[in-house]
Every structure is written in structure tokens, then in C-alpha cells.
Structure 1
Amino acid sequence: MKEGPDIAQVATLIGDPARANMLTALMSGKALTVSELAQEAGVTIQTASSHLSKLDAGGLLRPRKQGRHKYFSLASDEVAHVLEGLMGLAVGAGHLRKRTGPKDAELRRARVCYNHLAGDMGTQMFDSLIAQGHLVLEGADLALTQSGLAFVSDFEIDAEALQRARAPLCRECLDWSERRSHLAGSLGRAFLTRFEDLTWAKRDQKTRIVSFSDPGAVAFHRLFPVAHP
């Protein structure tokens, strides 16, 4: 037997269609009950409980009990990062479970990727931050510059507090629909929260769509302009 990480075990956990549907539903960032996840997976509650036990034992979920209900969420940003990457691989290889529908264009425009903004608007924000010199790629790492720190502070995000936390501040996440990077990490989460606080945007918990109001979209494009050739 070869030594090293057992990716086959994790792949087996994710690879079951019912478990994959549950994990995808949790990409909304919302904790869900066994019955809600059973509905997402199209299985009985008993079967869902068995699947969730396996995902929990595999370190992919974080269960929490509140009152009579037990809630499940993804174990970490790392799990969400892997799932988004797998979605990108699936789309690139043409592995789609259904034809595109009316919601597809909205999902591709702006959606939640666990706790940060993804889709066309997510990649626009990432590209604009890079173009303005607020973010820089240092090898495989993404870093906030001094101008970026001032930019974030002006937007009333406490970047210094985020830097003191243990969670990564800035991370690249490969967007499954755009096949380009969007911003993850605690800063990505803070930006999405700020958009909601300003009522620029609102999440749809059932579909993961992030809907921007007309004034919110105008303000967003002003803050994160696209560089035209």
C-alpha cells in the first residue's frame, strides 16, 4: 500500500449522487436539517441520516444540535473550495446533470459559494481588485496590498481584525461557471456580508442566487470597474 493522503476515500464520499446533492445544497452556507437534506437528495430521512453519518465521519460536515433538531453545514472553507473546484472540472468536461433553465443565467451572474460571492460578478470583483493593485499574486499566494488595506477600510471592512484571525484572509477559488478565479477567504466573506448590509444584494437561500438591486449593481460596478482593452 502506498503511503500518503487517501484521496480515494474522500472521492468515494463525494462521489455518491445523493451525498453530492447534499453537499451542493450546503454550498449556500446555510445549515440544513436531515429532512431538508433528504429532500435535496431525493432519499428517505433514514437513508439521508446514513449518508450524513458517513460524511461527518469523513470530516466533510459539521453537525450541530439545537433544540429538537440537528443541523449540518460544511466542515470548513476548505471543503467548499474543493467542491467548487470539482464543479468547475465537471462543467469543463461536459458533465451536466440537466439542461440549463431560467435560473441558470442568474446563477452564473452572481451566486453564493459557501460564504463568498461567485459567478460573473465574483470574478469581476477579483479581476478589478487585481487590476487596481489592491490584491497581488505572490507565487501561489494571494495578498492584500497597502492600497488594498486602505480600499477595504474605506469600504468599512475591518481588514486588520480579519488579519488577526486564524482563517486565511485572501484565497483564490476557481469559479465553476466562469472558469476563472473569484475571491474566497475571510475577506471574500466580508465583502459579501457588506454588500448585504448595504442592501446592494440579497441571497436566495434555496437557489444560492445573489440578486443585486439596480442601485446596488450600479454601485458595485463603480467600485469594481472592468478594464476595457
Structure 2
Amino acid sequence: MLPTRPEFVPDASQSRAEMESMQFDVADAATWEDDFPFDAEAVGLADWAPDDAPLVAGVDQAFLDESAVSVVVVMRGGRVIERASAVVDLEIPYVPGLLSFREGNPILAAFEEVEVTPDLVVFDGSGRIHFRQAGLATHLGVVLDVPSVGVAKSLLCGTPRESVDGRPAGWQTDIIADGRVENAASEEVIGHAYQSRQYANEPIVNPLYVSPGHRVSVPTATDLVARLCGDYKLPEPTRTADKYADEVKSSVRG
């Protein structure tokens, strides 16, 4: 799977100002309305999913010294259809808000090894919940022109409409654009805090922060993630990708 919009491929040689400028252009190119050919209600984790059920890719990474171990796991229902990986040197340090420039090219290298075309990609990272509304899921969603969703474990920016503490499984609240989110209307909803799981007699589980990457709306992004969460906190495609990334890391380390 190759980039459809190569002009937006992350370039680590750019200055910070140039990177941020590209992110504004990416956000302008992104579509935050539902624009996909599959039935959202057909997304799920059933092992008996038919052969025409949507293909959902999970993306995650592990790190080895100064290299990223990037993986893509494609699932149809609860079955893994394909796995791909790439180990690529990292070119810049982590800078909040510029994650796609650090990790984008390693992820794209893994996508080059994917033979099928996913209907939906779920990223371990933000989409619209980003200072310039162009997090990893939005940036790479636009580059690949694929419906995409960002699922983050912490809140980069924006403000929850309600307190997120100790909520039951299935609960959600809006994430509202605040002064840290540029080019967003006042009180605009850019994502959700979604409580995917909560367990009795266990430490409190924090919510996920779900936002559209590209070609998916805010409500649909959260609905899709809810459909993909099994018995664990994380959506199954990214949880499976996380496990695979650790496997590849171990094999590379030897």
C-alpha cells in the first residue's frame, strides 16, 4: 500500500515551522465526515465474519535503540488476515505535536509491505485531537487516503465536557476544542473520551481518547472503536499490533 498524497509524506529534514505548516495543509485536506464504502455496522470482532466484511488494520510501534519497529496487522472480524513490519531508523527526537514526522515514515514503510487494502485503519495516536488537528491518524490517513481513526491513551489537547474519572464501560463525553487547538470553532467537538472497559475490584481504568483521522466523523469514529474493543481496554486491531510489534522487536534484537 503506497501513498496517494506523496506531497504530504513526512519530511524529517524540514524545520519545525515547515512541519507545522504542513500539518495545517494536511488538516485542510482531511475529511471529517463519513466517506467510506463499507457498512459501519459490519465492523466487529466475530470470528465468523463473512469474506466481504470490512478489513480493519491496526498500527502500532515498538522501539529499539534509535529505530522504530512499525507494524500493521489487518483483521477481518476477529481473524488476522495479514501482518507486515518494518524496522526504520528514527530521524528526529520526540516533539509533542510532531509525532507523525518522527514515526510516519517507519509506519509507511510497513504499509508498503501490506498486500491487501484495508477499509479502515486504527492508529495508536491522535487524529483531530491535536494542536493543528493533524495528529498521526489524520496525517497518515490523508497520505494513504484511507478512512482512519486515532485512539490515544492520553489527552494531547482539548477539554472533556465532563469529568472522565471512574466512569463505567460504554460511557463517553465530548472533547471540546480549546485555545490549544488551532483553526477550530469555539466549542467544536473534535473527539470523544470513551470508557472502553471498567473492571470490578481493579484499579480504575482511564478512558481512551478517540478522534477521526480522515474520512470518518467524530461520532462514527467512537462507534467504530466501540465495535472493535473486545475483552480489553484497547481496540483489538491495535492491541494485536502491539503484541506483534513486541514479537518483531524481540526477533530483531535476537
Higher RCO (CA < 8 A, seq sep 6+): 2
Shorter-normalised TM range: under 0.3
Considering only CA atoms, is the larger Rg found in Structure 1 or Structure 2?
A: 1
Question: TM-score, normalised on structure 2?
Answer: 0.26
More helix by share: 1
Question: TM-score, normalised on structure 1?
Answer: 0.28
More strand by share: 2
